[in-house]
């Protein structure tokens, strides 16, 4: 299982960034909200899903991270320079914590949901999740956790795109003033 930090250090194309983060306890979220403002990249990153290209990493973009404390997922909202959300990327996770340097992390369970502003949801990396189980990198319980968490998200938080957008915007409002 890969450990990912909300500093997104594995994105080697990001040359310069500013990071903000805050532990929060509000009526709609208890956990951690982070924001990365991308200042410079070595190469723009474009994802292609179902024939649609979306720039996910470029100068001027922002990534809003939402890591609810007692849940098993991490949301990253990839935003353009006008703060419009272009796509959400949601990692299913096994656990989370905060490193000694204060940066939150999570243990990635391979399975991801990609959510478009029009409400379309794509399940990504199911093959990686299945392979991790076969290779015994994860347990059957962790496999089930990833599947169940993704299903709960699809029938819950992601059921109404407008509500999910509003939730994301509330989180952004909290962190943008740090």
Whether the CB-CB separation of 54 and 79 falls below 8 Å is answered with no
Ordered by start, the domain boundaries in the chain are 2-176
Backbone φ and ψ for 130, nearest 5 degrees, come out as: -65, -40
Taking only the tens place, the pLDDT of each residue in 55-112 is 999 999 999 999 999 999 999 999 999 999 999 999 999 999 999 999 999 999 999 9
> What count of Cα atoms within 13 Å lies in the side-chain half-sphere of residue 150?
24
DSSP 102: S
Taking only the tens place, the pLDDT of each residue in 120-178 is 999 999 999 999 999 999 999 999 999 999 999 999 999 999 999 999 999 999 998 76
Question: Looking at domain 2-176, which of 2.20.25, 2.40.380, 1.25.10, 2.60.40 is its CATH number?
Answer: 2.40.380
Taking Cα atoms as reference points, which of 120, 124, 93 lies closest to residue 106? 93
The rounded distance, in Å, linking the Cα atoms of 96 and 32 is 10
Q: What pLDDT score was predicted for residue 52? A: 79
């Amino acid at each position: 299982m890969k450990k990912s930090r909300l500093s997104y250090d594995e994105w080697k194309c990001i040359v310069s960034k500013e990071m903000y983060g805050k532990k929060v306890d509000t009526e709609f979220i208890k956990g951690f909200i982070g924001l990365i403002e991308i200042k410079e990249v070595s190469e723009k990153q474009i994802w292609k899903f179902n024939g649609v290209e979306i720039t996910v990493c470029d100068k001027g973009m922002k990534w809003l991270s939402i890591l609810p404390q007692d849940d098993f997922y991490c949301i990253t909202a990839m935003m353009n320079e006008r703060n419009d959300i272009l796509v959400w990327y949601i990692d299913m996770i096994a656990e989370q914590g905060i490193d000694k340097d204060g940066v939150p992390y999570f243990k990635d369970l391979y399975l991801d949901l990609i959510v478009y502003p029009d409400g379309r949801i794509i399940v990504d990396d199911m093959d990686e999740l299945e392979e991790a189980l076969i290779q015994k990198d994860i347990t059957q319980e962790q496999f089930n956790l990833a599947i169940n968490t993704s299903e709960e998200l699809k029938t819950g938080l992601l059921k109404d795109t407008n509500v999910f957008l509003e939730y994301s915007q509330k989180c952004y409002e909290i962190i943008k003033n740090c």
